[in-house]
Amino acid sequence: MTEERTTRVEEPDGSTHTTTTVVTDHPGRSGGGKGLMFLIALVMLTAVAFLVFSQMGDAEIAKDNAVAGAANDVGNAAQQAGDAVQDVANDVTNGE
């Protein structure tokens, strides 16, 4: 609760001075809970961002591994095709 107190002082020469003071029930600043809530939200946001970026890295690694596997399969298929051509060439030339 806020209360406003006004003090009026009259001097012997007839002049008056007025002082106004505002008094509250709770000293200091309020809203400490807001700072704590902001800190918790910031920590949660940081954790979510870390998880998202780490999963993106895992996806990139999986993609790289898939490309490497496909290239290996293409290499094996080319080797088999080359061996088949060699076998046909040997059959045509009677192994010469």
Model confidence band, residue 4 (pLDDT cutoffs 50, 70, 90): confident
- Cβ proximity of 24 and 10 under 8 Å: no
The Cα–Cα gap between 2 and 23 comes to 6
- Cβ proximity of 47 and 55 under 8 Å: no
Average pLDDT over residues 68-89: 90
Q: Which pLDDT belongs to residue 27?
A: 62
- Cβ proximity of 25 and 1 under 8 Å: yes
Which tens digit of pLDDT belongs to each residue from 25-77? 766 666 667 888 888 999 999 999 988 888 777 778 888 889 999 999 999 99
Q: Which pLDDT belongs to residue 47?
A: 93
Q: Which pLDDT belongs to residue 80?
A: 92
